[in-house]
Amino acid sequence: MTVIVAACLSAAKASYLASCISGVATVSKAAFAKLIHARLRIEICAMLSPVRWLPFSDIRDSLEISDSVLSKHPSALAEAGYVEVSRVRADSRSRRQVTLTKPGRTALRGHLAALQAIAAAAEPALAEEPSGARVPERRQPRREVPLDPRIA
Question: Is 7's pLDDT higher than 50?
Answer: no
Residue type at position 40: L
The Cα 36–Cα 108 span in angstroms is: 7
Question: Is 1's pLDDT higher than 80?
Answer: no
The Cα 145–Cα 136 span in angstroms is: 26
The Cα 75–Cα 83 span in angstroms is: 8
- Split at pLDDT 50, 70, 90, the class of 11 is very low
The mean pLDDT value of the chain amounts to 77
The Cα 51–Cα 140 span in angstroms is: 59
Lowest-pLDDT choice from 8-17, 70-79, 129-138: 8-17
pTM over 0.75? The answer is: no
Residue type at position 119: A
The Cα 129–Cα 16 span in angstroms is: 13
Question: Is 4's pLDDT higher than 80?
Answer: no
The Cα 7–Cα 130 span in angstroms is: 26
Domain limits, the chain: 1-29, 31-123
Q: Walk across the sheet containing 83-90 and list its strands.
A: 54-55, 93-100, 83-90
Question: For 86-117, how does the pLDDT look when each residue is reduced to its tens digit (9 = 90+)?
Answer: 998 878 888 999 999 999 999 999 999 999 98
Check residue 150 and give its pLDDT.
Answer: 64
Question: Is 74's pLDDT higher than 60?
Answer: yes
| CATH number for the segment(s) 31-123 | 1.10.10.10
